[in-house]
Each structure stands twice: as C-alpha cells, then as structure tokens.
Amino acid sequence: MSLKTPTRTTAAEARHPSNSAQGSHRPARALAVLKKNTSGLVVLIILSVLVVLPLGLVLLAAFSDSVPRPGSISLGGLTLSNLALLATPEAFGALVNSLMVGTGSALIALLIGAFLAFVCARSDAPWRKFIFFIGMAPMFIPALVGALAWSLLSSPSAGYINILLRDLGIDAAINIYSLPGLVFVLGIFYAPYAFLLLHSSLSMMNADLEEAATVHGAPLRTMLRTVTLPLALPAILGSAVLVFALTMENFPVAQVIGNPAGVDTLPTYIYRLMSATPAKSNQAASVAVILTVALMAVTVIQQRIINKRKFTTMTGKGNRPRQVPLRKLRWPFTLLAVGYFAVSVVLPMLALLTASMQATPFVSSISQLLEANSLSFAKLLEVLGSNDFQLALKNSVLVALIAAFAGTTLSFIASYVRYRTKSRTGRLIELVAMTPLAVPAIVMGIGLLWTWLLLPLPIYGTLAILAVACVAVFLPQGYRGVSASMLQMDQDLEDSAVMLGAGRARSVVDVTLPLMRVGITSSFLLFLMLSMRELSASIFLFTSNTRILSILVFDNFDNGQSQAAAAVSVLYCLVIGILAVIAQKAGGERKTKS
Amino acid sequence: MKISIQNLQLKYGSFTAIENLNLDIEDGEALVLLGQSGCGKTSTMRCIAGLEEPTSGRIIIDDIVVFDSEKGINLPPNKRNVGMVFQSYAVWPHMTVAQNVAYSLKRKKLATKEIDERVTEALTLVGLDQFAERGASLLSGGQMQRVALARSLVMRPSVLMLDEPLSNLDARLRDRLRVELREIQLKLGLTCVYVTHDQHEAFALADRIALLQGGRIVQMGAPRHMYEAPASASIAHFLGVSNIMECTEITAADGQTAARIAASDLTIHATQPPAQAALSPKVCIRAEDLQVTAAPTGSVNSWPGTVRVAGFQGNDVRYAVELEAGPELDVLGGLKRGEQHNVGDRVWVTVNAREVQILPAEVFA
C-alpha cells in the first residue's frame, strides 16, 4: 500500500503540470494519504498478528524441518519431506474419514434440519413453537458434551442403552465407537445450523411468489415443487455445505467417539501428531495445511451459494407464506420432531445426570440404578466444591468476557474502517477478518501457540492467550454481525452530528454506537456463547492454571474419569443455560425499548 | 454568507463526478443546484459540507478557505459551520425532538439557559414548539423534516444546505413546506443551497438556479429566465418541454425562421432566430403553448390532426394529437378555455410563432 502511494501521486501530478511546479507539496500529499489510512493500517496489523501470522507459521512449519521458535526461525531448513507423510495410509485414511464424516453428517443434519424447518415454518402441525425450540436447543450443548453423553449411552460394553438391551434379553448392541456412530453424533448436533438457515429461508420467503403460482393454476404440490423448493435450494445447499465444513474440522466429537474406535479424522490425526513424544510438529503442520486447504475450498463454495440467496428470497414485507395442511400426518410429524429432541437433548442429559449421580462406577443392569441409594448428588456437589471446577469456571467466564469485549470492539473498528471510511485498507481488512471462517480451529490453535511463543509479548500461559484464540476463531461471526448492523444504519445519521459541530469520534459515541446497540449487543453475546464452548484451539494453549470448563471435561474424559467428566459436563451445560437465559432477557429488553 | 467555489473537481477512480465547477453564491441568496440523479449536484453539496474530499479546487465560505487542494487545506465538516438537512432527514431516533435540536449547542458548550432559549426559538420557528419532549421516532415525515431544519437553523450556520428537502413528503405537504421554507429563508436572510431534481421545487425556492449535467453547470440564471430561455433542447426537455423535434433545414427571412421537421412534411415557423449555427438544432414547444381547436385558426402554425388520446387531469386535458403531416404532439388543453375533444376527432393544433424555440441539442459550459 505505502509503495503504491508515491507512484500514484506522480501520475496525478503529471496530468496537472500546475501542481508539479510546486513539488514541495508532494510529501504533504503522501502524508495526507498515510494519515487517511492510519487507523486502517493499525487494524490491519492487529488482524495480521491475530490471523495471518499464525497461518503463516503453520505453513512455514509444514515445509520446514524445525518448529518456529524464538531465535530459530529461518528459511534455511526448507524441505518437502513432511509431505511424504501425506502418502502414508494413516494420513490418507484420515483424509478419507474426514470427507466421509463431513458428507454423512451433512446429509443427516440436512434431513433433520429441513424436516424441522418445514414442519415449524410452513405446516399446520401442533406445537410449532416447541418445535422451533427443539430445532435450536442442541446448540446450547457443546458438541464435546454431546459426544461424551452419547458415549455414555451406547459404548459397546457399558453404555446405558446397551445395558438396557441386555436386560431385555435382546442380543444386539449399538456401538457408538465407529464411523457411523461418529457421523450420527455429528449429524444430530449440527442439525440446528441447517434448521436455522432453512427456517429463515422458508419463513421469509415472499408469499407473493407462491401465490402467483397458485393464481396461475398450480395445485399445492406443484407449487411446492416448482416455486418453493427452487427458492429454498440455495439455503438447502448452503446449509449442507456449512455443516460439511463444520463437521469436517470438528475435533472434540471425533476425538471422543472416533478415538476408541481407532477412527482418525484429520483434526484428531493432527492432535495425535502434536501430542506424541517427541511432538511431530512439522508433520502435524503439513496435515493442517491439507485440512485448511480443503476447508477453504468448501467455504468458498458455501459463501458463493449463500450470497446468491440474498437476491432470491429475502423480502422486507411482513406477509406470511402459505401453510401446508398435513392432515393425518400432523401428530406423527410432531412426534418425529419430539423424537429428535429426545435423541439430541433428553437422552444425553439423562445419561450425563445418571453418570454423575450413580454411586458405583460400574452398572451391570438398569434395575440396579433404580435401587435405593444408587443415585446421589454427592459427586456433583463434590465437583461443584472442587478447586479444579471453580478455577475452570472462573477462567471460562473471564476468557469469554474478555474475548467478547475485545472481539466486538475489533469487529466494530474493522467494520467502521471498511464501510465508513475511504481507507484503501478496507477490503483487505474484511478479507483477513473473514479468513478464520476457512481455517479449522485446531489449526488456528497450533498457529497461535507458535505465534505467541515467538512474539515478545508474554501472554503465553495466561488467560489472555485463550481470549486471543477465541477472538481469532470467532472473528468472522462477530465481524459479520457488526458490519451487517452498520450497513443497515444510514450514514447520514452520523454525518449530521459532524455537520452540527461534533468531531468524528464524538459522533460515533453519540449517534452510531447507541443506534447500533442491538447489533453490537448480539455480537457481544455471540462471542460470549461461542467462547464458552471453545475447545479445539484452546487445547494447545492452556496450562494447568488456565484450564477452562471445556478443557476440564476433555481432560477428565481423556484420563478415563468419565464420572467426573459427566459431572463437570452437567454443570457446564447449566452455566451455558444460565448465560443463554441472561442473553435472552437482554434481548427481550432491547426489543421492548426499540 | 458568501460562498465561492473555484475549479472544483471530484473524481472517483476514473469516473468524474464534478468537472471544473466554478460558482459564487451571494450573501442571503437561495441557490438551487438542479439536475438529474448522477449529475453531480449532491456531490457538490457534500464537497461544500466537507463530507466529500474534492480531487482539486478551492472552496471559500465566509472569507475562510475551507478547502484548497494546492495548499493542502481541508477543514473538517464540524469546523465549517455549515448546516445541512439530509434527504433522509437523519433525525436521531434515540433522542427527543429537543435533544436533537440542542445537539450543536451542547457541542459548543453553551449555558443551559441559552440552549433552552435557542431550542425553543428554533422549534417555534418551524412550528414544533409543542413537540419538544416527544421521542423523535414518533414523528411523521413532515415533522421530521421540520426537526432537521430546526436542528440546522439553531446553530446559526454560515450557509444552510438542503438535499432534496421535499422529495420524501406527499404532494400536499410538499406544496405547503415549499412556501414555508422560502418564507423562513427570506425572513432570516439565510444563504441557502438546495439540491433537487424537481424543476417545480427549484422554481419556487430559488433566487438563482444552477443547472448541472454530467458534472458541469450548463446553465445558470433566475428561475423565470431558465423557464423562458433554456439554453439547449436537453435542458428544455429536463425542464418539462415535451414537444422536441429534430429539424433538417432552417431558413431565415424577414425576421421569420422556418424549420423543417425531420421525417415529416411539417414546417414550423418561429419569430426568434435560431441560436447561432447550432449543432443538430431542435424545435421545442411547450405543451401548454399549443392550442387545440375544432376549426383552423389561420395562424402560420396551424396544422390538422386527429386526437389519439385524451387524458382528463382535473384542471386540464392532456391530448396526444397525431398531425396529418406526421409527428405526434403533446398538448395541454385548459378546460376553462372551453372546447373539449374526444378520441378520433379531427382537430387543429396551433402555436404562436413567438413560443417556438429552436435550440441546439446540447450545450457544454
């Protein structure tokens, strides 16, 4: 950018000889250009440290024989030998598994999400409000906890479902520790993403378009096939690709469910390489590069599909699209939805509660659980009172709050530079801010680890680095929320404050911030909720003093203490639930105010 | 206060929004920048306000150089003491009417008592003194317009600029506010710059109109002058002249000019000589200057034709008459003048040779 400026100035002056006669103004103008871009450059530098540098280090490590460390960073040891690993059956198997997991769970999530969205938004089934809740509820259970719950439910030997089957004399066992099991768990816990996208597409669809089809003689079935479905298609494809991307990079579920089965996906393979002794960091980096490239390709496709959607189905009109009468299927459809609720929320929660309350670690039959004194709150209370839990809780909340505050602030400044100034850095800022969308969290974690070991700022080993990780990983979501809200606000509102004598900063504080408070608060809450659930990046960044709740659950499970893991999980979900209720309250208040 | 704009140029990449614009606005004058969307009128206004940075040129407000590209002067908008009423009004919905209006005074850190007085004064001027404590989001369009106006007036600006001030209002309110705006401007002796694309609005508000096309001022003058003597056929078209015909041959003799209309057997006579030796001259006649009668009038410009469409408009009837000589004319027939004609009637269309203008297609200032 700074290289371009002088050439531009000379070109302009060549066309206006009167200007170049006074050559002394040239530096003044270059300075003006620099001044105009200062804030943009500062934001760009922060974003680069946050996003670009970590990725660069991973890329460097992938093609190097040493790990980037202070003093030892050089381009001397460049090699392609790490790539040889990619030809091994292990790495290739992990890649194939990742693709299968992504495809399978995207299909399941799409089926569930589309079904729920249709029933909730466009049918006359009973309990539609509850079905909307059903569609969203699993989002409040971190995928890690969901996976843990399902391993309690149907691990081949000790799973509650399998014990029940044995009790009933049925000679069949469900083995969740398998590739289909992994696909199933990911599918049900990522279905809400498909549901939310499709629900908004179906309920915001312009009713006129459908009515036009009816007026021109199409019966209901034909209308659904020729108008509704094509209009919803971008959302359908978009959500399927989104779930594919999310599940392909998912680490916690793959680790909990896949690891016992010996099923490796790319993220778990990376983790295994990183935690081997000695760590095979360079190989891990090369696998990380493959995963990132794959995810980038998928994300680009997804963004293309989603961007198309804007032109087809969004309308500002409040007219309600038509309801499809289900007749005999009304109750069966609702029951199916409730069935999904049982599988995604009720059973997992029951399993976690039971596991954390059972008196003996081993259960041989379900009837044993019904005996007196077989269940107690002792373990839960013990965990609640333990230093480990209290520290992790404090850390989690602190990290989430810092991340939410820093992330929202950064998102606002970046959006402002992009959409409210003429700074040439704007587009680049947006690109960098959106990049983490296409970077697996686990890769970001490795990159951040190396970055902050390298940088002179000593935040490694503190909570700050966990907050930094959350900001980096969730920046796209925050940035998108804030910039959407900024674009909705007429720039004249801020400019008029400037015209009336306020400085730019003052105008932002007096006018822009108050008018954007809804968008800003939701972005803050989004950062908060997402950061509370984060595991994949933090797993490389925590120390014994900076464990957060997700890490505590993972550690306990990893050490075979599934009862402790279950107990922490129950409390973890409780904390998230409380935060969600507070967020909802805050949201409700905002609505009544405006 | 006086405003002087010198050699103003604004470019967005390779697109030139304003091309070498020179304009002096006198103290107390109401100047209207008139033109189609994209002609550069709003950009010019935003350059004066300081919301847009010109590529080059100089802007002087009240003897203070607020922008000079050569000397590197660019005063920020909040230091220019320029009032601006935005097209969207930009009234802040999170404040009351009084808070909106008091904003600039609070920035100047005036005493509370003085702020109260001036706010009341401004609100009384625009007729909103009863609404001071109302939330600004509860106002109607016309009331928001008044709040925006009061908010700008209260700061006693060197110049008040209004961007399409009436375009968001319904027709009746527009007529009333047009008169009120002019009244306030004259009463306060305020220097005003309006931007509009509506010639009626321009005629009613302006002391002087600057007509912009393609980023340049193509004609400037008093409203009446603009109406009577547009400089080109394209300006005439923009100002609402609906009969514009190309001509092939122009002959002048005895103070009479005869223009032969292209692709027809029609010759139109005019008293005024054609403007210079213009490029592709066009004959321009206003619809209201044409007359429809059942019988010939004996004038040199009287042609037989058939009524194709007759549209009743309340005060008058708009006819489309196809002349036997070829072209179709747009005619505004006053109802009070008597005759009414029906579709299919054979009629005569007449125009006084004095009302016929022969103008060049375009002018480049």
pLDDT tens for each residue of B92-139 = 999 999 999 999 999 999 999 999 999 999 999 888 989 999 988 888
Q: Is the pLDDT of residue A317 over 70?
A: no
Relative orientation angle of helices A25-47 and A426-434, to the nearest 10 degrees: 10
For the stretch B60-71, pLDDT in tens is: 998 999 999 999
Among chain B residues, CA nearest to A514:
B94
Nearby residues of A368 by Cβ (< 8 Å), 6 or more positions away:
A374
Residue with tokens 């940088």: A455
For the stretch B173-202, pLDDT in tens is: 888 888 888 888 888 889 999 999 988 889
- Whether A16 and chain B come into contact, CB under 8 Å, resolves to yes
Relative orientation angle of helices A281-313 and A441-454, to the nearest 10 degrees: 130
Nearby residues of A174 by Cβ (< 8 Å), 6 or more positions away:
A154, A156, A159, A161, A162, A165, A181
- How close, in Å, is residue B125 to chain A by CA atoms? 19
Contact list in A for residue B76 (CB cut-off 8 A) is 498, 503-504
- How close, in Å, is residue B297 to chain A by CA atoms? 54
- Binary contact (A515, B88; C-beta < 8 A): no
Q: Is the pLDDT of residue A11 over 60?
A: no
Smallest Cα–Cα separation from A55: which of A295, A276, A405?
A295
Class of the CATH-defined domain B233-360: mainly beta
Which of A25, A502, A515 has the CB atom closest to B94's CB atom?
A515
Smallest Cα–Cα separation from B280: which of B359, B224, B356?
B359
- Binary contact (A499, B92; C-beta < 8 A): no
What is the mean predicted confidence (pLDDT) over B261-279?
76
Cα Rg of chain A (Å, integer): 27
pLDDT at B34: 94
- Binary contact (B86, A515; C-beta < 8 A): no
Cα Rg of chain B (Å, integer): 25
Contact list in B for residue A509 (CB cut-off 8 A) is none
For the stretch B296-312, pLDDT in tens is: 887 888 889 999 998 88
Residue with tokens 């991973």: A58
Q: Is the pLDDT of residue B140 over 70?
A: yes
Among chain A residues, CA nearest to B55:
A12
- Binary contact (A492, B90; C-beta < 8 A): yes
Contact A519, A481 (CB under 8 A): yes
Helix (H, G, I), strand (E, B) or coil at A461: coil
What are the structural domain ranges in chain B? 3-228, 233-360
- Binary contact (B90, A25; C-beta < 8 A): no
Pairs of residues, one from chain A and one from chain B, whose beta carbons lie less than 8 Å apart: 71
For residues A9 and A20, give the distance between their C-alpha atoms in angstroms, rounded to a whole number.
10
In a domain, A37, yes or no: yes
Q: Is the pLDDT of residue B355 over 90?
A: no
pLDDT at B247: 84
Residues in chain A: 594
In a domain, A342, yes or no: yes
For the stretch A509-525, pLDDT in tens is: 999 999 998 889 889 98
Q: How confident is the model at residue A590 (pLDDT cuts 50, 70, 90)?
A: low
Q: How confident is the model at residue B4 (pLDDT cuts 50, 70, 90)?
A: very high
In a domain, A352, yes or no: no
For the stretch A101-114, pLDDT in tens is: 999 999 999 999 99
What is the DSSP code string of A100-165? HHHHHHHHHHHHHHHHHHHHHHHB--S-HHHHHHHHHGGGGS-HHHHHHHHHHHH-TTT-HHHHHH
- Tell me what the pLDDT averaged over chain B comes to: 88
pLDDT at A593: 43
Does A225 lie in the same domain as A136?
yes
For the stretch A483-508, pLDDT in tens is: 989 998 889 999 999 999 999 999 99
- How close, in Å, is residue A514 to chain B by CA atoms? 7
pLDDT at A201: 83
Q: Does A458 sit behind a cis peptide bond, omega within 30 degrees of 0 on the bond before it? A: no
Nearby residues of A187 by Cβ (< 8 Å), 6 or more positions away:
A104, A105, A106, A107, A108, A109, A112, A247
β-bridge partners, B323: B305
Helix (H, G, I), strand (E, B) or coil at B165: coil
Q: How confident is the model at residue A316 (pLDDT cuts 50, 70, 90)?
A: very low
Strands across the sheet containing B82-85: B82-85, B159-163, B192-196, B30-34, B208-213, B216-221
For the stretch A278-298, pLDDT in tens is: 888 888 999 999 999 999 998
Handedness of CA B162, B163, B169, B172 (dihedral sign): positive
CA B245 to chain centre: 24
Q: How confident is the model at residue A313 (pLDDT cuts 50, 70, 90)?
A: very low
Among chain B residues, CA nearest to A505:
B78
Q: How confident is the model at residue B278 (pLDDT cuts 50, 70, 90)?
A: low
Contact list in A for residue B82 (CB cut-off 8 A) is 499
Residue with tokens 């978009």: A238
pLDDT at A65: 79
Handedness of CA B50, B56, B61, B63 (dihedral sign): positive
- How close, in Å, is residue B218 to chain A by CA atoms? 24
For the stretch A522-570, pLDDT in tens is: 899 889 999 999 999 999 999 989 999 999 999 999 898 888 999 999 9
- How close, in Å, is residue B90 to chain A by CA atoms? 5
Contact list in B for residue A9 (CB cut-off 8 A) is none
The CATH number of whichever domain residue A295 belongs to comes to 1.10.3720.10
CA A521 to chain centre: 18
What is the mean predicted confidence (pLDDT) over A148-173?
88
β-bridge partners, A375: A358
Relative orientation angle of helices A387-420 and A463-488, to the nearest 10 degrees: 40
3-class DSSP string for A165-232: HHHCCCCCCCCCCCHHHHHHHHHHHHHHHHHHHHHHHHHCCCHHHHHHHHHCCCCHHHHHHHHHHHHH
294-353 in chain B: CB under 8 A from chain A: none
Q: Is the pLDDT of residue B266 over 90?
A: no
Which of B56, B70, B108 has the CB atom closest to A501's CB atom?
B108
- Binary contact (A16, B56; C-beta < 8 A): yes
Contact list in B for residue A506 (CB cut-off 8 A) is 107
Among chain B residues, CA nearest to A16:
B56
In a domain, A490, yes or no: yes
- Binary contact (B93, A515; C-beta < 8 A): yes
Does A132 lie in the same domain as A225?
yes
Among chain B residues, CA nearest to A498:
B78
Contact B323, B349 (CB under 8 A): yes
CA B244 to chain centre: 20
- Binary contact (B72, A32; C-beta < 8 A): yes
In a domain, A294, yes or no: yes
Question: Torsion over CA of A461, A464, A467 and A469, rounded to 10 degrees?
Answer: -50
For residues A151 and A260, give the distance between their C-alpha atoms in angstroms, rounded to a whole number.
10
Which of B81, B86, B107 has the CB atom closest to A496's CB atom?
B86
Contact A411, A395 (CB under 8 A): no
Nearby residues of A393 by Cβ (< 8 Å), 6 or more positions away:
A549, A571, A575
Share of chain A above pLDDT 90, in %: 51
Pairing outcome for strands B30-34 and B208-213: parallel
Does A108 lie in the same domain as A240?
yes
Q: Is the pLDDT of residue A586 over 80?
A: no
For residues B338 and A569, give the distance between their C-alpha atoms in angstroms, rounded to a whole number.
91
For residues A274 and A280, give the distance between their C-alpha atoms in angstroms, rounded to a whole number.
6
Contact B323, B239 (CB under 8 A): no
Task: Choose from B47, B55, B67, B78 for mutation: most chain A CBs within 10 A.
Answer: B78
Relative orientation angle of helices B112-125 and B97-107, to the nearest 10 degrees: 130
- Tell me what the pLDDT averaged over chain A comes to: 85
Q: How confident is the model at residue A409 (pLDDT cuts 50, 70, 90)?
A: very high
198-217 in chain A: CB under 8 A from chain B: none
Fold matches, B3-228 and B233-360? no
Task: Give the amino acid at A438.
Answer: A
Q: Whole domain around residue A337: which residue ranges?
A: 87-346
Share of chain B above pLDDT 90, in %: 44
Does A104 lie in the same domain as A56?
no
In a domain, A519, yes or no: yes
475-514 in chain A: CB under 8 A from chain B: 490, 492-493, 495-504, 506, 510-511, 514
- Binary contact (B107, A506; C-beta < 8 A): yes
Contact B290, B341 (CB under 8 A): no
Contact A389, A571 (CB under 8 A): yes
Domain count, chain A: 2
Does A450 lie in the same domain as A307?
no
pLDDT at B342: 85
Lowest mean pLDDT among A424-428, B152-156, B220-224, B293-297: B293-297
Q: Which helix (H) or strand (E) holds B34?
A: strand B30-34
pLDDT at A216: 85
- We find that the CATH architecture of domain B3-228 is 3-Layer(aba) Sandwich (3.40)
In a domain, A332, yes or no: yes
For the stretch A464-483, pLDDT in tens is: 999 999 999 999 999 998 99
Share of chain A above pLDDT 70, in %: 89
Q: How confident is the model at residue A589 (pLDDT cuts 50, 70, 90)?
A: low
Contact list in B for residue A515 (CB cut-off 8 A) is 92-94
Q: How confident is the model at residue B330 (pLDDT cuts 50, 70, 90)?
A: very high
pLDDT at A320: 65
Q: How many Cα atoms sit within 13 Å of A456 on the Cβ side?
A: 0
Contact A124, A326 (CB under 8 A): yes
What is the mean predicted confidence (pLDDT) over A206-225?
80
Contact list in A for residue B56 (CB cut-off 8 A) is 16, 19
Pairing outcome for strands B30-34 and B192-196: parallel
Among chain B residues, CA nearest to A496:
B90
- Binary contact (A25, B76; C-beta < 8 A): no
125-184 in chain B: CB under 8 A from chain A: 148, 151-152, 155
Does A234 lie in the same domain as A123?
yes
Q: Is the pLDDT of residue A70 over 80?
A: no
For the stretch A352-388, pLDDT in tens is: 999 998 877 777 777 777 776 778 888 888 889 999 9
Tokens, residue A461: 């080993």
- Binary contact (B151, A493; C-beta < 8 A): no
Contacts of B95-98 with C-beta under 8 Å, sequence gap 24+, read B95/B135, B95/B136, B96/B132, B96/B133, B96/B134, B96/B135, B96/B136, B97/B123, B97/B128, B97/B131, B97/B132, B97/B133, B97/B134, B97/B135, B97/B136, B97/B139, B97/B147, B98/B123, B98/B132, B98/B133
- How close, in Å, is residue A225 to chain B by CA atoms? 41
Q: How far is residue B217 from each of residues A36, A176, B164, measured CA to CA in Å?
A: 31, 77, 18
In a domain, A192, yes or no: yes
Q: Which ipTM did the prediction report? A: 0.83
- Binary contact (A492, B86; C-beta < 8 A): yes
For residues A229 and A236, give the distance between their C-alpha atoms in angstroms, rounded to a whole number.
9
Best-predicted range by mean pLDDT (A69-78, A322-331, A576-585, B30-39): B30-39
β-bridge partners, B209: B32, B221
Which of B77, B93, B108 has the CB atom closest to A499's CB atom?
B77
Q: How confident is the model at residue A408 (pLDDT cuts 50, 70, 90)?
A: very high
Lowest mean pLDDT among A441-450, B214-223, B296-305: B296-305
Task: Choose from A500, A517, A520 for mutation: most chain B CBs within 10 A.
Answer: A500
- Binary contact (A498, B94; C-beta < 8 A): no
pLDDT at B14: 87
For residues A453 and B354, give the distance between their C-alpha atoms in angstroms, rounded to a whole number.
89
